[in-house]
């Protein structure tokens, strides 16, 4: 016995069957859930040591420094320069600039100094999509200074930007 199913009904069944199949497959794929980084609170009583801790949190979270871009203490092919020892190297990178001035300009104007062997590609971290505040940038600078150097940034430090 041959069933004579009308063509519109065949099409509807085909669409429903295909949709159901792909919905089932979609549920089989593991889903990753991404959450925004927790807010980092900065207050006027913070010491330089406190800023170093907050700067490390920002570099690993909201600042996105260590999320696929920079590394610390690694070698081999890298997207951007390794930050190991940057606190000591920063004062000697550009004649006439202190470590603080060099780090601030590198964060606010990343194209100003391109390390040989690396391409220009870092975004200014005070602009979207990263959008760190000036106080958050001071914390990141304190953390960078602590990588091989002595941090001296406070919330009262004038970065010139």
Q: Domain with 125 in it: what CATH number?
A: 1.10.760.10
Is residue 3 in a domain?
A: no
pLDDT at residue 34, rounded to an integer: 75
Beta carbons of 81 and 70 less than 8 angstroms apart: yes
32 domain residue, yes or no: no
Q: What is the pLDDT of residue 28?
A: 87
At 1 the pLDDT is: 63
Domain annotation covers residue 156: no
Q: Give me the numbers of helices (H) and strands (E) for the chain, helices first please.
A: 5, 0
Q: Residue 98 domain-assigned?
A: yes
pLDDT of residue 74: 85
Residue 62: other Cβ atoms inside 10 A:
20
Q: Which tokens hold the place of 140?
A: 């990141």
pLDDT, mean of each 10-residue run, the chain (161 residues): 84 96 89 78 94 95 87 84 94 93 96 90 91 96 96 94 89
Smallest CA-to-CA distance from 53 within 62, 40, 70 is with: 40
Residue 63 lies in a domain: yes
- 42 within some domain: no
pLDDT in the model for residue 104: 96
Answer yes or no: is 38 within a domain.
no
Number of domains present in the structure of the chain: 1
Assess if residue 21 is contained within a domain. Answer: no
pTM: predicted TM-score of the whole model, two decimal places: 0.77
Cα angle, residue 124 at apex, residues 53 and 97 outer, rounded to 5°? 75
The predicted structure's pLDDT at residue 89: 95
Q: What is the dihedral of CA 124, 128, 133, 138, to 10 degrees?
A: -30
Rounded Cα–Cα distance for residues 43 and 22 (Å): 51
Per the structure, the complete domain to which residue 116 belongs is given by: 48-146
Q: Write the burial class of residue 125 (CB in 10 Å: 0-12 exposed, 13-18 middle, 19+ buried).
A: buried
């Amino acid at each position: 016995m041959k069933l004579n199913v009308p063509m519109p009904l065949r099409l509807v069944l085909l669409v429903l069957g295909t949709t159901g199949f792909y919905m089932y497959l979609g549920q089989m794929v593991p889903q990753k859930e991404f959450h925004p980084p927790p807010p980092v609170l900065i207050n006027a009583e913070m010491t330089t040591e406190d800023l170093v801790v907050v700067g490390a949190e920002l570099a690993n979270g909201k600042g996105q420094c260590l999320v696929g871009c920079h590394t610390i203490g690694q070698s081999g092919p890298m997207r951007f320069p390794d930050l190991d020892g940057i606190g000591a190297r920063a004062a000697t990178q550009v004649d006439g600039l202190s470590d603080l001035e060099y780090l601030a300009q590198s964060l606010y104007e990343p194209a100003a100094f391109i390390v040989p062997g690396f391409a220009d590609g870092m975004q200014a971290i005070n602009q979207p999509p990263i959008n760190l505040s000036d106080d958050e940038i001071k914390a990141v600078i304190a953390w960078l200074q602590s990588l091989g150097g002595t941090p001296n940034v406070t919330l009262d430090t004038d970065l010139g930007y």
